Amino acid sequence: MSQGKLRQYYPLLWMLAIPILNIFYGILNRPGMRTYDLSTRVDEILPFLPVFVIPYLIWYPFIAACLVTLFYRNRATYYRTLFALCLGLVISYIFFYFYQSGITRPQLGEGFLYSLVQFVYHNDAPYNCFPSIHVLTTYLMIKSSKQAFPHAGLRWAIHLLAWSIILSTVFVKQHVLLDIAGGIAVAEITYFVIGLVPAWARSRSRNPGKAFGASSE
């Protein structure tokens, strides 16, 4: 592959910002000076369903596949979604630092699905709950799916998988309902804020003086 053709794939390297930022997830994934319990009566009623560990784990390749597809289908939406995701991670880490929350996990039985849940529990301490990063990132894929998947049938399939991932966070007892609400709220805010940048840049290029509040006189 020639250097020129290879260069067109360089923007995919921006995805490396995600694992770099995730370093802070590991640092913060511990009890804070005070750890909050955001569970409600509804969370106590919701059953533990180990089968949902499958969509929970599918989250990892799902996010990567969606971002790569966005890169090929709609470059502007790729950047908007990726930068919104990174901003969402930063906001989440601020919450984890100042408002750490945790969750009580159930006793596990035996079998293949339980072993997968045990794998999740072993590699992710029961903290860093609000807002849910699983939900934040998955919901961003829903927001951007119209540009990445114009075919309605495929888009609905993506939505179905995405919502199964979101629901899995409560059914494998990794999160509570308020964590889901928080993840969706952060996704909506960051996607909107990053979406303002191109409009601001266009305004600045048309009238740089006004963009910085300078006098036109």
Rounded to an integer, what distance in angstroms lies between the CA atom of residue 18 and that of residue 33? 27
CA gap 204, 182 in Å, rounded: 33
What are the domain boundaries of the chain? Answer: 50-204
Residue-wise burial string across 161-175, b where 16 or more C-beta atoms lie within 10 A, e elsewhere: bbebbbbbbbbbbbb
How far is the CA of 165 from the CAs of 58, 158, 175, in angstroms? Answer: 8, 11, 12
Tens digits of pLDDT across the chain (217 residues): 566 677 888 999 999 999 999 999 999 999 988 999 999 999 999 999 999 999 999 999 999 999 999 999 999 999 999 999 999 999 999 999 999 999 999 999 999 999 999 999 999 999 999 999 999 999 999 999 987 787 888 899 999 999 999 999 999 999 999 999 999 999 999 999 999 987 655 455 455 444 433 333 3
